Each structure stands twice: as structure tokens, then as C-alpha cells.
Chain A
């Protein structure tokens, strides 16, 4: 990651630096497998076909690959995100009908900058400006579940098809779950003070120059990659161990297609299990290789990433317990259906 740290100090010349860094990125990325093999077989002189060799080769190849992908994508997503904000999203959602509102909220949830620590002010801001509860939920489900880190890891370790499946099914779950919650009219389970709240005038956004947006792209890389790199390394290390040592089809008996109960069980286990996408996806990718079914694995990942206990605890400040359980129930059911569906199709 030395090229990153370098670039931060030179952001003033970021435009020229980009012209240099991006080709360098592609050159390195495309030669990564060859470089890895050279390192493992010619420099470490490790015997081919051995478990340890395979595990180390997997690790040495996947870690830089995933970190490079993360750096590039988060940089561009960071720039794109400067064009979105919760305030603009809120404005776009005002006065939308239930279904249209759900679709827009879920889609905007992907691109709007969101951190679970801001879940409460965001929830309050949406409700206060009259956005229906169900629409707000579509946003709150999509925003953490479909994030750029998850997409990059799925793309890097599973391929673009799985990444696309994850995004599309995630969107459908967020839209439907929000719509269902809206139809159930559960406003009575929102803490009463929420509806009495009067928010102040929102401070006006300054227009950003493009130079500033590029700088914010670098900042996003520094913040997000700086936070998740350790999970990527640990996740891939565990994945490499599984890749090299766990026997073929070992997972088939309990995460395979024939074990129908594995889908709801994976979702249940995934709720208290709190990890981010960066830690969980490499492990799951190795499990699939060992016979875990795609649907079951998908359900497990969505549950771990999308239904997190810490976020529920934060939301307890504004939602009564029955609503939190309804939220978990509706989203959990959606994830289980997706799991069964993909086990059935593939």
C-alpha cells in the first residue's frame, strides 16, 4: 500500500498523479498472478501441489488483489458519493408514494454516504421531514447491506455475476421489506418523542470543486481501506487455510443444498455475528469451494452484513422492541427466501 500513502501527501498534484497511478495499477493488477507464482515457486522454492504451498500462494495472490481493487473502487465511489448526501436523498424522497418511495430509497441507499453511527440522526431527519416509515426502512436496510466494500470483495473473490446477484437481491429485499413494514402501519412502535421532534434548518451545502472531490476520493480510501485492510488480511488468511487444508466437499453435509435447514440457521447465526464484509466474504468464498451451497452462503453473508446487532441496539433509541423484531423478522425472511431460491436455481 506504499503507493497510497505517497499519494496522500501529493494531493495538490492529484490530477497528474492519477494519470500516473492508474496505468501503474492496471499493469500491476494484470501481472499479479505471474508475480505471485514467481515469488512462491522461484524465490521461496516451494514444491507445487502441496497444501502449504497452495495456501500461501492463495494468500499472496488474493491479499494484494483485493486491496488493490478496494483502493481503486473506493476512490471512484468516494468521488461519486460527493454528489450524493443524506440531505439530497431526503429531498428526493419527500412526497413520493409508498412503492416508488421504497424503490428510490433502496437505490439511493447504495450511493448515499452512510455510517451506522449516523443511523439515528438520519432516521430522525427522514421521519421529521414526513418520509413514511416504510420508505425510511428501505433506506436503512439497503445502505449497510449493499456497500462498496461488499461489492468489491464479491467481485474480486466470486466474480461479477455473484456481485450482481448480491446487489439485485439485496435491493429487492430492501424494497419489499420496507414496503411490508410500511403496509403494517407500525408508527405506534416508534418512540413517541420522535414525532414531536423539530429539526433545525439544514446548513447549506457548499458547492465543491472537482479538485476537492478528488481529494475526498483519496480521503475515502484512507478512511475505508485504513479501517478494513486488517479484516481483509485475516479473512483471506482464514480463507487460505480453508483453501489449502479443508478436504473437498467438507462443507457439503452442513452447508450444502441437501441440508435445507442450513439456510434459516445461517441467517440466525449471522445476526449476532458482527463482522464487516471484508472479514466475512473471503471466508465464505473458501467455504463455497468446499461444497457450501451458493444460496446458503449468500444468505449467511447478507445476514452478517445487513442485520447487525450493534445497529439494532443503536436503533432501540428510536424504535420500540416489537418494531425491531418485526424489522429483523421481515428482513430475515427475505434473506431466507433468497437463500432457498438460489439453492434451487443453481
Chain B
């Protein structure tokens, strides 16, 4: 599983990365979490509000930082 956190480095982006890593660890997923800070690539996903959570090139969530519980639900779907 390829997980990307889209964001230009604001505090919310860091919070989303942290929460996602926690969710991945708790679910024991075999996933690669990377941060995408290049604005041109971020725009490529059609996102206008950061941070965003992208799993296997699909935007699952954007514009807010969800709870670890919500991320876990999103990742197991």
C-alpha cells in the first residue's frame, strides 16, 4: 500500500502525517508513508485544501486532520 500525505509543510500536514503513521502502526499494515510537498504534484491530485490523504493514488480525504480512528476506518475499507 502506497500512502501519500499532500501538504506544503503547515502544522496540519504534520499532524496528518503523524496520525496516519499511528494508524498504519496500529493496523500493522504493510504500507509506505511518504510526504508530498511539491505544490505542482499536489495540484495534480486536484486538491485545493491541504492536507490531503492519498492511498494508492486515490484521494481519500482533504482539507482537515481526521482522528486516528477515522484514518484506520479509511485504510481498512
Q: Do A and B come from one complex?
A: yes
Residues on B with beta carbons closer than 8 Å to the beta carbon of A73: none
**Does A55 touch B at the CB level, under 8 Å?**
no
Residue in B12, B40, B46 whose beta carbon sits within 8 Å of that of A203 in the complex: B46
- Asked whether B39 lies within 8 Å of A86 as measured between CB atoms, the reply is no
Q: Could you tell me the distance in whole angstroms from the C-beta of B39 to the nearest C-beta in chain A?
A: 6
- Asked whether A199 lies within 8 Å of B10 as measured between CB atoms, the reply is no
Q: How far is the CA of A125 from the CA of B58 in the complex (A)?
A: 18
Residues on A with beta carbons closer than 8 Å to the beta carbon of B63: 85, 113, 118
**Does B20 touch A at the CB level, under 8 Å?**
no
- Asked whether B12 lies within 8 Å of A202 as measured between CB atoms, the reply is no
Q: How far is the CA of A121 from the CA of B49 in the complex (A)?
A: 6
Q: How far is the CA of A317 from the CA of B8 in the complex (A)?
A: 11
- Asked whether B46 lies within 8 Å of A201 as measured between CB atoms, the reply is yes
A197 in contact with B8 given A87-B48, A113-B49, A125-B48 (CB within 8 Å): no
A200 in contact with B43 given A121-B48, A121-B49, A125-B48 (CB within 8 Å): yes
Q: How far is the CA of A115 from the CA of B45 in the complex (A)?
A: 19
Q: How far is the CA of A120 from the CA of B67 in the complex (A)?
A: 25
Minimum CB distance partner of B65 in chain A: A223
Residue in B8, B42, B44, B46 whose beta carbon sits within 8 Å of that of A117 in the complex: B8
**Does A122 touch B at the CB level, under 8 Å?**
yes
Q: Could you tell me the distance in whole angstroms from the C-beta of B74 to the nearest C-beta in chain A?
A: 12
Q: How far is the CA of A248 from the CA of B39 in the complex (A)?
A: 52
Interface string of B57-77 (1 = CB under 8 A from A): 011001110000000000000
Q: Could you tell me the distance in whole angstroms from the C-beta of A86 to the nearest C-beta in chain B?
A: 5
Q: Could you tell me the distance in whole angstroms from the C-beta of A105 to the nearest C-beta in chain B?
A: 14
- Asked whether A202 lies within 8 Å of B39 as measured between CB atoms, the reply is no
A121 in contact with B12 given A87-B48, A90-B48, A203-B62 (CB within 8 Å): no
Residues on B with beta carbons closer than 8 Å to the beta carbon of A121: 8, 39, 42-43, 47-50
Residue in B43, B58, B64 whose beta carbon sits within 8 Å of that of A124 in the complex: B43
Q: How far is the CA of A201 from the CA of B43 in the complex (A)?
A: 9
Q: Could you tell me the distance in whole angstroms from the C-beta of B56 to the nearest C-beta in chain A?
A: 13
A199 in contact with B44 given A117-B8, A120-B8 (CB within 8 Å): yes
A-B contact count (CB 8 A): 63
- Asked whether B40 lies within 8 Å of A115 as measured between CB atoms, the reply is no
Q: Could you tell me the distance in whole angstroms from the C-beta of A108 to the nearest C-beta in chain B?
A: 13
Residues on A with beta carbons closer than 8 Å to the beta carbon of B50: 117-118, 121
Q: How far is the CA of A23 from the CA of B10 in the complex (A)?
A: 38
Residues on A with beta carbons closer than 8 Å to the beta carbon of B45: 200, 203
Q: List CB contacts (< 8 Å) of A202-217 with chain B.
A: 202-203
A203 in contact with B59 given A86-B49, A117-B10, A124-B39 (CB within 8 Å): yes
Residues on A with beta carbons closer than 8 Å to the beta carbon of B46: 199-203
Minimum CB distance partner of A128 in chain B: B43
- Asked whether B43 lies within 8 Å of A122 as measured between CB atoms, the reply is no
Residues on B with beta carbons closer than 8 Å to the beta carbon of A201: 46
Q: How far is the CA of A86 from the CA of B45 in the complex (A)?
A: 15
Q: List CB contacts (< 8 Å) of B29-45 with chain A.
A: 39-40, 42-45
In the complex, 19 of the A-B residue pairs with CB atoms within 8 angstroms, ordered by the A residue number, are: A113-B49, A115-B12, A117-B13, A118-B48, A118-B49, A118-B50, A120-B39, A121-B8, A121-B47, A122-B48, A128-B43, A197-B40, A198-B43, A201-B46, A202-B46, A202-B47, A203-B62, A219-B64, A317-B39
The interface of chain A, by Cβ under 8 A from chain B, is: 85-87, 90, 113, 115, 117-118, 120-122, 124-125, 128, 193, 197-203, 219, 317
Closest 10 CB pairs of A and B: A117-B10, A200-B46, A125-B48, A202-B46, A203-B59, A86-B48, A199-B43, A200-B44, A118-B49, A121-B48
Besides the known contacts A85-B63, A117-B13, A121-B43, 8 further A-B residue pairs in the complex with CB atoms under 8 A apart: A115-B10, A118-B48, A118-B63, A120-B8, A121-B39, A193-B40, A202-B47, A203-B58
